Structures are given as C-alpha cells and as structure tokens.
Structure 1
C-alpha cells in the first residue's frame, strides 16, 4: 500500500468526463525488413514480459471510504494483458490524418479506475506499411519526466532487445480489496504525517516570502494589484482557447529538427525552451490574426517546471508551474524572442526562491469529494467563460532519448506527446526531443479548436521564419581568392618549394663552374687556326 501524494491525487479529483486526466504518446514504428508475423501478438507477449519493470503497470487504486482522503496504490496480482494491450486497424487509405483523428478519439475516453491506469493500442493499416503505438497512462501516477523513465522499461536500444528477468513470485492476497478499517486507519495516519510535514515547512516558507519581499529591485514601485499582476503575468487576455471544454478532442503532430532549434538558440543567445515558446507564440499569433481574434495584450503560457532531483525515477508527479509572457503583441520575431527570454528568466528566478518549499504532498482530509464536485460545477456552469484566464495555452517541453529506440523489435521513428486539454485551457502543446527531432503534439478540445492542424502548420512556418532571420544575421563568409589558370596552379607548388629550399638551405662557398665541352660535330666545322 502506497499513498498518493496531494499533487497526484489532484489529477484524480479534478477529472471529469469532459476533462480526462491521462497523458500519452503516439509512436510510429518501422517493422523489421521482411517481417511476416503478427505484430499485435508479438507486442502483447513483449509487454507481458515487461510490465513488472515499472510500478505504473502493476498497481491500481484503492478508494477511501466516502472519499474522505486520497486513495492508495495497491499491487494488482491479476493483470489482464489482453485488456490493456489492444488492436486497431485503420480503414483505407490509412493516412497520417486518419491516424491522428483516431488517436484523438481514443484520448477522449476515461480509463477504468478498477484496473491499473494504463492502456496500449497497436494500430496498423497505415498506407506506409508502418504500425503505430498509442499509449495512455493516468497523470495521477506519472509526470513527463517519470514517463521517460517508464519508456526505458518498454523500449530497447537494439532490435533484438535485452534479456529481462521474470518477476519474482509474490504471495496472493486472500481478498480482492482492502478492508474498510484498514483503509480508514491508513488515511488517518497519512493525514497526520502530512500535517507534521507541513508544520516543519513553515519556517522555510516564511523565509522564502521574506526574501521575495526584500527584493525591491524586482517589484514595481507602485503597489497597484493590476500592476503586480501584469509584472508577474498573473492575468492573460481572453482568447478562443479560454473556454469550458467538451470530451471531444482534436490532435496534430509536427516535427522540427532539434539541431536547427539549438542553432537558433545559440545565435540569439537564448535557451532552447525560449525558442520553443517563440515558435508557439508566432504560430498562435498567425492563427488568431487570420480569424481577427488576436488580442492586443500579450498572451501568456503556462509552463510546467520539474522539481525532480537528479536520478529520481519515482513514478509520481514532481512538478510546478510558471507563467511566461509569449510577447504576442510584438510583431518582430526577434524582439518577441528576446522578450520571452526576459519573462522566462524572471519567472524561473521567482520559482527558484520557492522551489525548496513547494509541496507535492499536502493534507486533503475530507477534500476529495469537495474537489470533484467543484470540478464538475466549474466545467458545466460556464463559469470559466466569464473568469479572467491566468494563461492562454499550456506549453511543455520534455527531454527524451537522443538515440534510436525499439519496441518489440520495431524501430521507433517518432515520439509525439499527447497531453491534457482542460477547462479554461482548451489547447495544450507538448513536445519531446527524440533522436535529433523535436516532436510536437497538439491536443485540443475539438469544439474550441477544430482546426488544430492549421496551428501545426503555422508552427513549421514560424520555425522557418526564425531560421531565415538567423541566416540573414549570420556574418558573411570570407571572400575566396580568384582562381588562377591551370598552368599557374600546377607551377605554384614547384615555385613555392624552390623558394622554401632557398630560404632554408645552408650557405656554401660558390665555385666556378667548369667550362662545357663543345659537341664533336661543332668541333669539326670550326675553322682550324694557323
């Protein structure tokens, strides 16, 4: 039995049919040359031998009585692999657009909470002859970086894979579910431990607040709340993305070379994430401008920030959020990029002051049922459509593997993230680096953003625009000397060698050269002297 942290449980309590709280990915797989088997059966057998490598595949929820406290994770000793690994064949012609539409449809349905919270889909029928792997895992058990660690359990570095030891046998429990008394006592103990942890954190929290208040150079002189809100990007203008959503989804995937994005960052002296945000900003600016919906004020992005320590591969959530101005009110792309860099740096600096006291686990006794009710009321009442938004779009950048990987012997050619659209933030753009690529996954409420593919096309166009500006600003290459004629080019090395020999040869005494003898024929013709 393991308790969910307060942050993990939040993704459960805020979940509604209109707002599923699972994350996933779409991988296109290239089958081995000459493959003639049934890849679905091979993938199912492959997963059956790997699920014990990650906790997320083998644990399920045990709910507390009356939802008085957060659920706990318990081991599931009866996992039905046929249920969790499923098979879909696309109708002809099997285009990429059809694949993305089907993934959007699969992503809109809730995961069964009575089982381990994950589902894998093998999708074939693509006209390219490739197959696709779509995965979804509930966000209550995993964040972006923990997802990379789960990927290490199911992906290999070679087509032949690696030898995996079978799981150790564990004694089966006599009952299917834990008893009410056992769950209640566990909830009370965990709640008490959370309050103790919170009490111990109060001095550090007070110090962080004092440090922030003692930094007048970072605060505006006027204490007007509206000025403070603008300074720290606490409010955002209203856009078509800031509405209540339905359970219908639209998805689009786009790829940008990682090397080109890094080159832009180096040239303009910003970070790679700044370039990503500038690319997103330019794309949204063009999209909204085409519909005469571009706000006069700058849009704001909600950007997750990892709180995970190096080497921590725990399958849970350890992240917070910062707000970054997208500078969408600026027309010049370079000025926009510099403004995003300034806003991002300031937000990260503020976050670093509080990072040590940000809690991912906090008391929630008697709160779960209240949070679930509030989530339903907020989503269905239309209240989101009237409240000022804190952010216009969610943008997340996950660092993935810089090398090729294989799943059940098939080469993984792409790694498109599929994340969460939420009430008030109908568009989520998450990207992951993989093997020299930046794979963007755009997930949105289909009613709020029906043409998400158009935004994806604007992403590519904005990247090309930044590349062109970088190349225009690059210093011109040095002029090459004029090409000499072929005869002079052949003679040049010989002249150079002679000149070098003359400079380096030791000085010797010069002797008179002996007189040359005349040829015999010339001697006979010469007149004989008397």
Structure 2
C-alpha cells in the first residue's frame, strides 16, 4: 500500500456532501469528419487501451489499520467502465448554456470511494457537430501539474492515435494478514512521526532565517504589511450541495500583449481581468466593499520534469485592487501586490510542511469539517480570501482524442465553505479558457460573471490602447 501524504489526504478529510473535493475539466471536441454513431462507445473503446498509462486510475483507497493514519492506494483490480465512463446527451438545441448546466449538476456529485477516484462523462448532442468530455478526478490524487500527465496520456498531436504499448502483466502479491497490517500500520505511523519531527527540527534554522528575511523589508519600510483579512462578500458563505458553472475563452495573444505593454506578467493580467469582473458583479448587486477583495492563488512546487501523480502546491494571497475603478491602475496595483505576495510566499514555502501525521486524522478531521459546515461558521467568521484564482499553462499546439480535435480545455474546480467562488484558467492554442465554479446559492448566475470576465478583458484591452495613443478598434 502506498500511503497518501498529509496534503493529499487532507482533500479526503475536507470532503462532505456539500464540499466535493474533485477537480475536473470540460473538453470540447470537433467530431472526426464523417463520424457517425456513438462517440461514447468510440471514446470508451479508445480509452480502454490508454487507461494503464495513468497508474492512479487503477488504484483505489484502502484505510489504514484502525484508521490511525492516512489511507493509502492499492490495486483496484478490474475496472468497472460502466461506472468510470458515463454517457449523457443534451436535449436540442444542445447549446453552451445547456452544457454548462449539465456540468454544474455532474460536478456536484461525489465520487464513489469504493472505486478508483475518477469518472468521465461523454456528452453528446452538442450543436455544431461537437461532443464534450467532463472528466473529474479527486484532488487527493492530482493537482494541476499532475493533471497534465493525464492530458499527455489521453491526447495525441495528430488525428491518428499513436500506438500504445499494452500494460505489463501484474505480478501476483500476497495479501497481508490483519496482524501484519496492524504491525505495518503502527510502524508506519511511528516512522512517519519520527521522520516529520526530524524534518521540522532540520527546518527550524531555515524557517527562522526566512521569517527574518520576510520581516526585514517591513521593518525597513520598503514594503507595507500584507492585507491579512478579506472584506465580507456574498462569496464568503457556507456552501450547499448545488453548483453553478460557466466557461468562456479570450485571446491569449491579446493578454500577452497587455502584459508586454504594461510590464506585467500574464498571471497579473488574469487577476486584473477577474478583478474587473468581480467589481462589476458586486457593484451591480450593490455589495462591493470599500476594501479590496483578496484572492488565493496556488503556486506549484513541482520541479521541471516531475510527473508524480500527487499534490505539490503552495499558495499566496493577493489583494485584487477592486477599489480601483480604472482598469490600468487596477492592473498595476495587482502587479505590485502580486510581486510582494510572491516574494513573501517564496520566503517561507521551502520551510512549509509538505506532509503531516496526526493519529486518528481520518476520523477527527472529517468530523471537524462536518461541524464547520453544520454550524455555518463561514457565514460569520472573517475570511483571509474572497475567491480562488488559478492559472495553468496548457499546450500551445492542437490536441486530438480518439481522432476528434480538441477545441477548448475548460477547467472545473472547487467551491468550499467560506470561499464559494473559484476562477480557474488554462491556456490552449491561442486562447485562455476560463472556468467559473461557484456555489449556486452564493452565485446562481455564473454565466453573468463569465460574461463580465469577457467584458473586463475588453475594457482592459481598450484602456491599454488608449494609453498607447491608439484609437480603439
């Protein structure tokens, strides 16, 4: 049994019926020329020959003895493809709005923990001879970087699928007895605790040095104190089971041009676009706070070339300058705040724990999460952030799946208690694909927010042109 790290297991412990902890994608395909019949059957036959390229798809959870420590991954045996690859069809006309509503419904359903923690739904009936794939995998198994490993296994760079070597025969293994499991489990707990205590002791000098480096610029007056708490918004509530979802695309070339013209990074521009949409959305509802909204922005700790299927993420909080009306001023303020936050996060991320062992965690931590939701504490206590904004680099070249051309790669992410809005972005070819995932009660109209993303992008683009002395197109 390969035990989950503390970070991976935390996504299991955080999961309730109201807070599913899977991440997902919505992929759009142009059907192969002349294709007839069921794309679900066509895709299933294709993927059966690829599934072994993603080892985690053949693993399921196994509890530690007496649940004294984190669970682990064990071989799942023969896969139930009737469960893992579902079929759905949109009613006519099969438009974008209908697709988004279906994805919102599918995304609210938890994965079955008795099976490998992934499920695909092939969606047919889209207008324009298209099909879609909604693919969800539990966050305990993957982060954004690991998700790219799945993408590489699933897709090809031409419309002719590449030859894939068949899986190697599995070697028979003896199932340990209950006594052996108990001894191994207790020894693993003891070893994990000893290893992590040693790691903490080794990191103390580094941590003290990094705290000193972090505080020195503040004491010297070079940077100000970070914004520690976010203002209250409709997004900072206890979430319910129902989800809202929308997807939109904008030009990647134009976003890069904005960054080049303003001396800012692509991620700064993405945050500024999202900030403009949040400002407009809350202004329309007469709920825009005076203080700037704050976003949690994940940072990958994955080294170049690392293809491990697990979570390797850290994060930073970035004020979004929603108290600035001018798009350019907002962008420059965000770039300034983002740079300071990244410096701060970079100074402590190496010392941050990447694993933890807590005796009884599989029982204690889910109970605390249930209590947090049941008492609706998120409706009352201050939050550090208002939303999550994540940006992942995707392939700049065309992808194909089972002969069908991929036209968009929209992310579908997580909403949780206190942070009911998640904006996740992935680049593909020459566009940025935005996926807006929200609690339905907090934001029933994710499509309105998505349209404001596009409008905010256009406002920023025109502001840059005006600043350069060019007439708007």
Is TM (by shorter chain) over 0.5? yes
Match of 1:518 in 2: none
Match of 1:301 in 2: 295
Matched, 1:211 2:233: no
Aligned pairs for 1:478-493 within 5 A: none
CA contact (8 A) 1:195 1:362 kept: no
Match of 1:458 in 2: 452
CA contact (8 A) 1:3 1:190 kept: no
Structure index of larger Rg? 1
Match of 2:263 in 1: 269
Match of 2:169 in 1: 169
Out of 400, 404, 407, the residue aligned to residue 406 of structure 1 is 400
Aligned residues: 469
Match of 1:197 in 2: 199
CA contact (8 A) 1:18 1:245 kept: yes
Aligned pairs for 1:17-56 within 5 A: 17-56=17-56
Matched, 1:144 2:134: no
CA contact (8 A) 1:304 1:319 kept: yes
Aligned pair in 2 of structure 1 residues 32, 364: CA closer, same or farther (>3 Å)?
A: same
Out of 307, 314, 328, the residue aligned to residue 313 of structure 1 is 307
Aligned pairs for 1:338-417 within 5 A: 338-417=332-411
Deviation at 1:177, TM superposition (A): 9.7
Match of 1:117 in 2: 117
Deviations 1:281-340 (A, max 9, x none): 110111110111010111111110111111111111111110101000111111111110
Out of 327, 330, 335, the residue aligned to residue 324 of structure 2 is 330
Deviation at 1:359, TM superposition (A): 2.2
CA contact (8 A) 1:257 1:438 kept: yes
Q: Distance in 1 between matches of 2:153 and 2:194?
A: 35
**Cα RMSD, aligned residues only:** 1.9
Q: Distance in 2 between matches of 1:476 and 1:233?
A: 36
Matched, 1:188 2:182: no
Aligned pair in 2 of structure 1 residues 95, 177: CA closer, same or farther (>3 Å)?
A: farther
CA contact (8 A) 1:117 1:138 kept: yes
CA contact (8 A) 1:237 1:295 kept: yes
Aligned pair in 2 of structure 1 residues 248, 177: CA closer, same or farther (>3 Å)?
A: farther
CA contact (8 A) 2:70 2:357 kept: no
CA contact (8 A) 1:326 1:340 kept: yes
Matched, 1:157 2:151: no
Deviations 1:85-133 (A, max 9, x none): 1111112221111111011101001111111100011110112221110
Aligned pair in 2 of structure 1 residues 393, 219: CA closer, same or farther (>3 Å)?
A: farther
Aligned pair in 2 of structure 1 residues 137, 177: CA closer, same or farther (>3 Å)?
A: farther
Query: TM-score w.r.t. structure 1 length?
Result: 0.85
Q: Distance in 2 between matches of 1:202 and 1:362?
A: 16
Deviation at 1:420, TM superposition (A): 0.1
Deviation at 1:191, TM superposition (A): 3.4
Gaps of 5+ in 1: 222-227, 478-530
Aligned pairs for 1:477-516 within 5 A: none
**3-state SS in 1 of match to 2:408:** coil
Gaps of 5+ in 2: none
CA contact (8 A) 1:63 1:71 kept: yes
Deviations 1:374-422 (A, max 9, x none): 1111112111111011101110001111111011111110000000001
CA contact (8 A) 2:328 2:464 kept: no
Q: Distance in 1 between matches of 2:399 and 2:348?
A: 37
Matched, 1:235 2:237: no
Aligned pair in 2 of structure 1 residues 374, 392: CA closer, same or farther (>3 Å)?
A: same
